[in-house]
Structure 1
Amino acid sequence: MNPNLYIEVPECLSPEQLKMMCELEIDAFGSDGSVDEYGIIAIVRNGRLIWLREEGDNRPVAVCELMRDYKQCDLAYIFGFYVRSDKQGRGYGRILMNHVFDLVRQDQFSEISLTVKPSNVAAVKLYERMGFRVAEIRKDE
């Protein structure tokens, strides 16, 4: 990994970090698809919030929200994954996803899944390059 990049898995967030995460969520998903402050706190406490940061930048350049599937305990579920809009196209998504794969293996998950809007072409391409395959298509979800 680039020596100017850092992975962080915060166990709690300051009020400023929580506000920043809400802003990043809206930037990534819009107001309809973003996680609010209560959802972010739940992910930090009960799942994993994984950041990729650049040296000198307090805001993450890429974020993964990871949870354990309740019905299949060996399945890790990526609840949210995004690269900041001003940092897209630089390989940050691939770097973070590779770290997520390592973390999932360390935590002894046997599978990893996610959902994505088919219209999110950049995300679909990244996920396919990273080895994800379409398991099912859910309409109106």
Structure 2
Amino acid sequence: MTTQTQDVDHELIEAAAHIARTRCRGDNHTMAAAARAQDGRIVTAVNAYHFTGGPCAELVLLGTAAAQGAYELDTIVAVGNRNRGVVPPCGRCRQVLLDYFPALQVIVGAGKRLRAVSITDLLPESYIWADHQLETEENEPLSTS
């Protein structure tokens, strides 16, 4: 697996950290996420914890971005409350982020190891469900048999 790293968007990390500090209160909201849209806007969200499996901050962010008309995201980061710092997306979020935005960059790591990596590097050999992912580079459908 070849991991390509990009410059880290520190403004995006700080936006998520600010939301984690100011909006994550109690046990229902413990994670914040921030994403940069292609037009430069930053969209933020918090998780909605529930014992039945409430959505992670990254998934809430997808709906928030769409509600604000930000349909193309370039980079995303999640930050934990209580100064936990950058937290990588869980497996479910990795799959959903890949399905929605196959070119997305995800900020992971801590301290001097902060880096932006492709969502495909975080979820190699992923499950393919969307028709647009079944096309080869020559735009010919792959055999599904």
Task: Check whether TM > 0.5.
Answer: no
Larger radius of gyration: 2
Higher relative contact order (CA 8 A, sep 6+): 2
TM-score of the two chains, using structure 2 as the length reference: 0.33
TM-score of the two chains, using structure 1 as the length reference: 0.33
